[in-house]
Structure 1
Amino acid sequence: MLYSTTYSSSPIAKLTVTFLAALAVATGGLYVGQWIPAAMHLPLAVLEIVLLLVMIFARSKKAVGYPLMYSFMLVSGATLYPLIGYYISVIGADAVLKAFALAAFSFSGVAIYAAKTKEDFSFLGGFLMLGAFALLGLLIIQWFIPFSNVGQMGIAALGILIFLGFTIYDINRLARYGFTEADIPMIVVNIYLDFINLFIYVLRFFASDED
């Protein structure tokens, strides 16, 4: 059965509750991350990528379950800890909190707009994928050719725009076309990744101003 945001509020309520529960699990992973040895950071990052790829593959078979989703969230939270710790050392805890607040405010604003507007943003899909590949290419180049502060800021700004765009695209698609209950775990992961990547690029933007 296809659930539509127009005709039923219960699927949205279930999605919201699941998303909040997933955030709680990711927060727990972030808390646990402080006790994870540095030698485990890379294996955990690889495990996070593997779990995400498994979910993407399983999505086509409608086999993405809640245990897999929560496992991904736990590992993702744990891998965030060293990254957050790095940015705290570079820009300070207050700036990290400000970056989080800015990301949360921006994410909420565009998500509400995307859910309420009558515009169809499906056309953004192709542009956003091209932008994501371009961003990835720039990040790879940066490993070999360090960019100036202005270049770093430009990459961060591009990342912010891309993940705000993904937020609009994903939320608008849900609002217009609805979703099945089986889709909820993958939807939660998509929305989570939109927000976390937005937060990371806001942090990069703040840090580029400090260098």
Structure 2
Amino acid sequence: MENRVTALGRSEASTLSTNKVIRNTYMLLSMTLAFSALTAGVSLSLGLPHPGILITLVGYFGLLFLTTKFRNSGLGVLFVFALTGFMGYTLGPILSYYLALPNGSQVVMQAMGGTAAIFLGLSAYALTTRKDFSFMGGFLMVGILVAFLAGLGAVFFEMPGLSLAVSAMFVLLMSGLILFETSNIIHGGETNYVMATVSLYVSIYNLFTSLLHLLGFASND
């Protein structure tokens, strides 16, 4: 009887801890998305140039390293905002390009709506069904690495066809990553809300830019 009570107490504590991670993750995610939108808006309104692929990669991986290193302290939250703010800045020139298209505003709104629908739908599915998607981890890691390298090849060798294929791959991979990360939080695989926030933010960012690329190509005569 005592063992059963102890096990019940541990289960309840685990559930409370998981709920706390979920709550903190979505709270921080909403704040970082708002901050990223703000920096994107400032970058767009000022007409700032894109920093280029090399500076973007150095800035992203550098800030990601610092976020990971300090994930258990207040500095981790600070570096999350630095990371998402920087990515927002890089998004400004991209938005400027698509808004210059004849129906650019419609393309951007469609990409935003599609991103929101996919993220909310997949998150709700994972949260309500509580299915374990941990089996997707290895596949997603390999897939993202392949798509990332293919994307670099498309940029440096100027291959628009490959670039479109990479965008389509990223839509599928980021959708899978949303399911995987949400499931990971629910089942206790991810207990740090800072890292969970970064993973979900990156999924949303890449999902949005990939949809933007595909929709922009489809609507540009």
What interval of TM-score do these two structures reach, taking the shorter chain for normalisation?
Answer: 0.7 to 0.9
Query: Which ranges in structure 1 are unaligned for 5 or more consecutive residues?
Result: none
Amino acid at match of 2:38: G
CA separation of 1:13/1:66 partners in 2, compared to 1, >3 Å: closer, same or farther? same
Pair 1:206 & 2:219 matched: no
**Number of aligned positions between the proteins:** 204
Pair 1:27 & 2:72 matched: no
Higher relative contact order (CA 8 A, sep 6+): 1
Offset of 1:36 from its aligned partner? 6.4
Moved more, 87-96 or 105-114: 87-96
Of 90, 101, 125, the residue aligned with 1:113 is 125
CA separation of 1:152/1:144 partners in 2, compared to 1, >3 Å: closer, same or farther? closer
Q: Counterpart of 1:144?
A: 157
Q: Distance in 2 between matches of 1:48 and 1:116?
A: 33
| Residues 44, 79 of structure 1: 8 Å contact kept | no
CA separation of 1:8/1:162 partners in 2, compared to 1, >3 Å: closer, same or farther? closer
Q: Distance in 1 between matches of 2:136 and 2:147?
A: 16
User: Matches of residues 97-108 of structure 1 in structure 2 within 5 Å?
Assistant: 97-108=109-120
Pair 1:69 & 2:117 matched: no
TM-score, length-normalised on structure 1? 0.83
Offset of 1:101 from its aligned partner? 0.2
Q: Distance in 2 between matches of 1:145 and 1:37?
A: 23
CA separation of 1:94/1:173 partners in 2, compared to 1, >3 Å: closer, same or farther? same
Q: Distance in 2 between matches of 1:185 and 1:37?
A: 29
Q: Counterpart of 1:47?
A: 59
Pair 1:14 & 2:24 matched: yes
Offset of 1:33 from its aligned partner? 1.3
Q: Distance in 2 between matches of 1:126 and 1:15?
A: 23
What secondary structure, in the 3-state scheme, does the structure 2 residue paired with 1:177 have?
coil
Q: What CA RMSD, in Å, does the superposition of the two structures yield over aligned residues? A: 2.8
Amino acid at match of 1:164: S
Offset of 1:133 from its aligned partner? 1.6
The one-character-per-residue Cα deviations of 1:77-106 (angstroms, maximum 9, x if unpaired) are 111101111222245111111111011101
Query: Which ranges in structure 2 are unaligned for 5 or more consecutive residues?
Result: 1-9
| Residues 67, 77 of structure 2: 8 Å contact kept | no
What secondary structure, in the 3-state scheme, does the structure 1 residue paired with 2:214 have?
helix
Pair 1:78 & 2:89 matched: yes
